[in-house]
A and B are shown apart, each in its own frame.
Chain A
Amino acid sequence: ETGVTQSPTHLIKTRGQQVTLRCSSQSGHNTVSWYQQALGQGPQFIFQYYREEENGRGNFPPRFSGLQFPNYSSELNVNALELDDSALYLCASSLGGAGGTGELFFGEGSRLTVL
């Protein structure tokens, strides 16, 4: 069973640039959630995708967007980067719908630094 993998692990961008982060979900999972974890804080919910549709969103501006593909992998896109976007971005997959336990399986994260 393959776990959740994220890429890249680290990246550095400058203000105003755009970034795409990628996530491969665990085998058999159809739901992907993205979280932002700032230094010293707990993870904060960005949004969730279930069967290629966004079905929940946290308190993040529209410049945070995402996609989920037919194989349930996912991308997080952030436009017009700001210094405060510097954080660890966590992807978590789960089995949604009937039969799902709701347990989230996390990747190791992508650490974004915005200069």
Chain B
Amino acid sequence: AQRVTQPEKLLSVFKGAPVELKCNYSYSGSPELFWYVQYSRQRLQLLLRHISRESIKGFTADLNKGETSFHLKKPFAQEEDSAMYYCALSMNTGFQKLVFGTGTRLLVSP
């Protein structure tokens, strides 16, 4: 079965520290991976997707098929990065169904 695992419920760091939010997936096919973010009192929104290979707000994520991981990284955390982050997997099923992890709350302290 398809599954996304985010092992940390909460990640607390100081401003300027590096951040790595972990995501592992299980899927036998060719996955498409996403990171969605929810800032306080805002709706869930797309942060980045592995296909685009972009850096958004200083965040990057590399798909590692060997380790079935898609960890989200940022070298220097900012207070405005505090939010709930969800890793999600999309399968090539003919329709778009996202399988979400349980989320990691990132708290960046001054």
Contacts and interface: CB of A to CB of B under 8 A. Distances in A.
Given A55-B95, A56-B97, A90 B46 contact: no
Contacts of B28: none
Interface residues of B, number: 21
A106 B46 CA distance: 9
A44 B95 contact: no
B94 interface: yes
A108 B65 CA distance: 33
B35 interface: no
A3 B95 CA distance: 22
B96 A96 contact: yes
A64 to B, nearest CB: 15
A55 B86 contact: no
B95 A56 contact: yes
B44 to A, nearest CB: 4
A31 B96 contact: yes
B35 to A, nearest CB: 12
Interface in B71-110: 86, 88, 90, 93-103
B93 A42 contact: no
B46 A103 contact: yes
Given A42-B86, A42-B102, A42-B103, A48 B97 contact: yes
Chain A to chain B: the 10 pairs with minimum beta-carbon distance, closest first? A42-B100, A56-B95, A106-B44, A55-B95, A45-B97, A106-B43, A43-B100, A42-B102, A108-B43, A103-B46
7 contacts: A48-B95, A56-B96, A90-B44, A96-B95, A96-B96, A102-B32, A107-B43
